[in-house]
């Protein structure tokens, strides 16, 4: 127990949530990657790869939660680096699932958009912490320009990530009490711009947008969810290429029931192309039931609640906004993934943080957890209470010893006087 207290510092609840999500990830990814084992001579290769990324992320959490949170402002340097990588990715990046989202340097493949998300959150938190030193208008303008540039670079290949990142930074500015007039005007402009883009997207023929980024996929998903979504008649319903993923996700959820089929007994993992990534929440419900699905949802809700408590206890502005940004990124992405799996939102391609199989996403999410724990420890003073109590007790013992020494010395002096 003493070793655990020395090793795992910071907010204990966040540690417990992190451990549960990692455990669920190992079990469900091992089950959901069964389709990959058919294509691989090594049965353990898919889960071994995922476990190695989780282990690397766990080591990062252990390191980062011992780093004082004020040093994380140095991550702003990732902003220009990620911008350059995002510019190069469409030309030099590897093509996976018809998109150029991955870069490979010295044999290591990663997503520059994940680095950009981290850099943007740190940059906005740093700007918001300068209130009083620079004007709110300057903070808003600098933050908006930087985030807008990054999001525009992400947009062609990953629409959902760019929208989510901009939304998180917008919420950070709202919480940071930026001028409501400017925020409202920005929101109105964004809604009108998105409406015009969607209208233009549907006005143009498919021949003009074919092969241009992910525009054709975006158009089909929006149309399939908002416009052409038919009423489901079990007697006549047919699974086609357009509704394949969503249909099998709904079948998985329907089969789950209350307590599920237990891990390893799911059937839809063999039909869903992204059962171990985008649709892993549907597999969780199939194998762990509604109870398991609700438990996973509850873990993310509890994480956001703890992040709010940590932020409220921070005395300084930078760690407060930094922990809120990291928490919002994790939870909003999780809610988006779960909403897609249960049919409440169009398919976005967002993995379930810490649970879905992945490389860059898993490691960067662990970085967010490490930052949250660091802020809870050094910014909010949580998790080190036992050490402080031990130090206070040792001080009391030393004081008592000094008093005892003084009293014994006084007694000796008194006896000497009596004898004389």
Q: Each residue of 117-133: pLDDT tens digit? A: 999 999 999 999 999 89
Res 228: pLDDT: 59
Which of 191-205, 215-229, 309-323 has the highest average model confidence (pLDDT)? Answer: 309-323
Q: How far is 147 from 310, CA to CA, in rounded Å?
A: 25
Record the tokens describing residue 128, joined without a space.
């918001």
Using the structure block, give the residue that is written with the tokens 């192309």: 273
285 pLDDT above the threshold of 70 = yes
Residue 387 scores a pLDDT above 90: no
Percent of the chain clearing pLDDT 70 (strictly above): 80
- CA of residue 317 relative to chain centroid, distance: 21
CA quadruple 274, 277, 282, 283: dihedral sign: positive
Backbone angles phi, psi at 338, to 5 degrees: -70, -35
223 or 287: which carries more pLDDT confidence? 287
Which residue shows structure tokens 């985030």? 147
Run of H or E including 105: strand 99-105
**pLDDT number for residue 147:** 95
Q: What is the mean pLDDT of residues 225-230?
A: 61
Is the separation of the CB atoms in 163 and 214 below 8 Å?
A: no
Cα 171 from Cα 336, distance rounded (Å): 16
What CA–CA distance (Å, rounded) separates 354 from 50? 10
Q: Identify whether the C-beta of residue 29 lies closer than 8 Å to the C-beta of residue 280.
A: yes
For residue 225, the model assigns a pLDDT of 66
Amino acid 45: pLDDT: 78
Q: How confident is the model at residue 249 (pLDDT cuts 50, 70, 90)?
A: confident
DSSP type of residue 32 = H
Section 340-354 average pLDDT = 86
- C-alpha–C-alpha distance, residues 420 and 415, integer Å: 9
What was the pLDDT predicted at 160?
A: 87
Q: What's this model's pTM, rounded to 2 decimal places?
A: 0.86
d(CA 160, CA 17): 26
Report the range out of 177-181, 246-250, 405-409 with the highest average pLDDT.
177-181
Would you call 270 helix, strand, or coil by DSSP?
Answer: helix
pLDDT tens, residue by residue, 130-146: 998 999 999 999 999 99
Round to whole Å and give the CA distance between 147 and 150.
5
- Report the pLDDT value the prediction gives residue 269, as an integer from 0 to 100: 83
Q: How confident is the model at residue 418 (pLDDT cuts 50, 70, 90)?
A: very low
Residue 213 is predicted with a pLDDT of 57
């Amino acid at each position: 127990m003493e070793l655990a207290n020395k090793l795992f510092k910071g907010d204990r609840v966040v540690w417990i949530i992190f451990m549960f999500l990692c455990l669920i990830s190992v079990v469900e990814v091992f089950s959901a990657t069964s389709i990959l084992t058919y294509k691989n001579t090594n049965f353990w290769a898919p889960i071994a790869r995922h476990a190695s990324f989780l282990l690397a992320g766990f080591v990062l959490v252990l390191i980062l939660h011992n780093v004082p949170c004020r040093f994380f402002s140095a991550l702003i340097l990732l902003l220009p680096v990620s911008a350059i990588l995002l510019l190069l990715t469409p030309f030099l990046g590897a093509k996976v699932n018809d998109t150029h989202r991955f870069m490979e340097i010295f044999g290591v493949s990663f997503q520059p958009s994940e680095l950009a998300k981290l850099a943007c959150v740190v940059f906005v938190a740093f700007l918001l912490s300068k209130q009083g030193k620079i004007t709110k208008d300057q903070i808003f303008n600098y933050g908006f320009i930087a985030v807008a540039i990054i999001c525009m670079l992400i947009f062609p290949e990953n629409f959902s990530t760019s929208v989510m990142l901009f939304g998180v930074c917008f919420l950070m500015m709202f919480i940071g009490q930026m001028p409501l007039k400017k925020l409202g005007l920005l929101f109105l402009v964004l809604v009108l711009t998105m409406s015009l883009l969607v209208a233009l997207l549907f006005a143009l023929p498919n021949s003009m947008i074919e092969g241009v980024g992910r525009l054709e996929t975006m158009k089909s998903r929006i149309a399939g969810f908002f416009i052409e979504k038919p009423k489901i008649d079990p007697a006549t319903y047919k699974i086609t290429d357009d509704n394949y993923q969503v249909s099998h996700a709904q079948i998985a959820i329907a089969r789950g029931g209350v307590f599920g089929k237990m891990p390893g007994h799911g059937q839809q993992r063999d039909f869903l192309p992204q059962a171990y990534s985008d649709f892993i929440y549907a597999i969780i419900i199939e194998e762990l039931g509604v109870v398991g699905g609700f438990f996973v949802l509850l873990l993310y809700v509890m994480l956001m609640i703890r992040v709010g408590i940590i932020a409220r206890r921070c005395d300084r502005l930078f760690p407060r906004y930094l922990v809120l940004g990291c928490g919002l990124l994790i939870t909003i992405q999780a809610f988006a993934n779960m909403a897609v799996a249960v049919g409440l939102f169009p398919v976005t391609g967002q993995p379930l943080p810490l649970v879905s199989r992945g490389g860059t996403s898993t490691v960067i999410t662990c970085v967010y957890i490490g930052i949250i724990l660091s802020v809870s420890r050094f910014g909010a003073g949580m998790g080190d209470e036992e050490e402080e109590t031990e130090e206070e007790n040792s001080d009391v013992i030393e004081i008592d010893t000094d008093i005892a020494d003084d009293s014994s010395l006084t007694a000796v002096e008194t006896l000497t006087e009596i004898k004389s």
